[in-house]
Structure 1
Amino acid sequence: MSTENTTTSTGLDEQRLARWLDAQGLPGGGGDLVVTALQGGSQNQLYELRAGETRLVLRAAPGHASPERAERMLREYQLVRALAGTDVPHARVHAASTETDIAGQPFYVMDHVEGWSPMQGGWAAPFDTDTNARAGLATQLVDGIARLSKVDWRAAGLEGFGRPEGFHDRQVDRWLSFLDKYAFRELPGLQVTADWLRAHRPRAYTPGILHGDYQFANVMYAHGAPARLAAIVDWEMATIGDPLLDLGWALIAWGPEGDDMTHARYLDYTGMPSRDDLLEHYATVSGRGVEDIDYYVILARFKLGIVLEQSVARAAATGGDPKVARFDGIVLELIRKAAELTRSTTLK
Structure 2
Amino acid sequence: MSAPFGPEAFERLDAWLRTHLPALGDGLLHAESVSGGTSNVVVRLSRPDCTRPLILRKAPDRAPPASEKAIQREAMVLKALTGSRVPHPGFHGFSDDAGIVGGPFYIMDLVDGWAADLNPVTDQMSYRPDFIGSDLHYLAFAMIDGIIEMANLDYVAAGLGSFGKPEHFLERQAERWRSQMDSYPQRYPGYERHDRPGLDYVTDWLAANVPDTGRPGLMHGDYAMNNVMFANRPPARLAAIIDWETATIGDPMVDVAAYAGQLRRRSGVQPVRPYLDPAQFPYFEDAVDYFGEKTGRDVSMINYYLVLQKFRMTCILEYKVAEAAVGIAPLDKGRRFDNFVRTLLGEAEAIARATG
Same fold (TM over 0.5): yes
- Identify if the C-alpha distance between structure 1 residues 154 and 318 changes in structure 2 by more than 3 Å, giving closer, same or farther: same
- Identify if the C-alpha distance between structure 1 residues 324 and 28 changes in structure 2 by more than 3 Å, giving closer, same or farther: farther
What do the CA deviations read for 1:115-163 (whole angstroms, capped 9, x no partner)? 0010277110222xx2211101100001100111011111111121111
Q: Given the alignment, which residue of 195, 200, 209 partners 1:186?
A: 195
Q: Partners of 2:40 and 2:24 in 1: how far apart?
A: 22
- Identify if the C-alpha distance between structure 1 residues 228 and 198 changes in structure 2 by more than 3 Å, giving closer, same or farther: same
3-state SS of 2:292 partner: helix
210-219 vs 132-141, greater mean Cα deviation: 210-219
* TM-score, normalisation: structure 1: 0.89
3-state SS of 1:209 partner: strand
Matched, 1:261 2:272: yes
Aligned letter for 1:145? I
Aligned letter for 2:129? A
Contact 1:211 1:239 in 2 (8 A): yes
Q: Given the alignment, which residue of 149, 152, 162 partners 2:151?
A: 149
Q: Partners of 2:332 and 2:163 in 1: how far apart?
A: 32
For structure 1, the residue ranges without an aligned partner over 5 or more in a row are 1-7
1:202 equivalent in structure 2: 211
Q: Partners of 1:291 and 1:79 in 2: how far apart?
A: 29
Q: Given the alignment, which residue of 80, 86, 93 partners 2:84?
A: 86
Same amino acid, percent of matched pairs: 37
Q: Given the alignment, which residue of 320, 328, 346 partners 1:336?
A: 346
- Identify if the C-alpha distance between structure 1 residues 268 and 26 changes in structure 2 by more than 3 Å, giving closer, same or farther: farther
Q: Partners of 1:132 and 1:148 in 2: how far apart?
A: 25
Q: Partners of 1:322 and 1:29 in 2: how far apart?
A: 50
Q: Partners of 1:311 and 1:212 in 2: how far apart?
A: 19
Q: Given the alignment, which residue of 17, 20, 38 partners 1:21?
A: 17
1:112 equivalent in structure 2: 110
What do the CA deviations read for 1:71-109 (whole angstroms, capped 9, x no partner)? 121011111211111111000111111122343221111
Q: Partners of 1:231 and 1:199 in 2: how far apart?
A: 37
TM-aligned CA deviation for residue 249 of structure 1: 0.9
3-state SS of 1:230 partner: strand
- Identify if the C-alpha distance between structure 1 residues 39 and 267 changes in structure 2 by more than 3 Å, giving closer, same or farther: farther
1:175 equivalent in structure 2: 177
TM-aligned CA deviation for residue 260 of structure 1: 5.0
3-state SS of 2:226 partner: helix
Q: Given the alignment, which residue of 327, 330, 336 partners 2:337?
A: 327
1:131 equivalent in structure 2: 133
3-state SS of 1:79 partner: helix
Q: Partners of 2:318 and 2:118 in 1: how far apart?
A: 24
Q: Given the alignment, which residue of 149, 161, 164 partners 2:163?
A: 161
What do the CA deviations read for 1:151-192 (whole angstroms, capped 9, x no partner)? 111111112111111111111111111112114222232211
Q: Partners of 1:145 and 1:14 in 2: how far apart?
A: 38
Contact 2:3 2:31 in 1 (8 A): no
For structure 2, the residue ranges without an aligned partner over 5 or more in a row are 120-125, 186-192
Which residues in structure 2 correspond to 1:48-127 (within 5 Å)? 48-52=44-48, 53-119=51-117, 122-127=126-131
Runs of 4+ in 1 over 6 A off after TM superposition: none
TM-aligned CA deviation for residue 68 of structure 1: 2.2
Matched, 1:238 2:238: no
3-state SS of 1:201 partner: coil
3-state SS of 2:341 partner: helix
RMSD value, Cα? 2.3
3-state SS of 1:149 partner: helix
Contact 2:262 2:275 in 1 (8 A): no
* TM-score, normalisation: structure 2: 0.87
Matched, 1:46 2:46: no
3-state SS of 2:195 partner: coil
Contact 1:42 1:234 in 2 (8 A): no
Aligned letter for 1:80? L
Aligned letter for 2:344? L
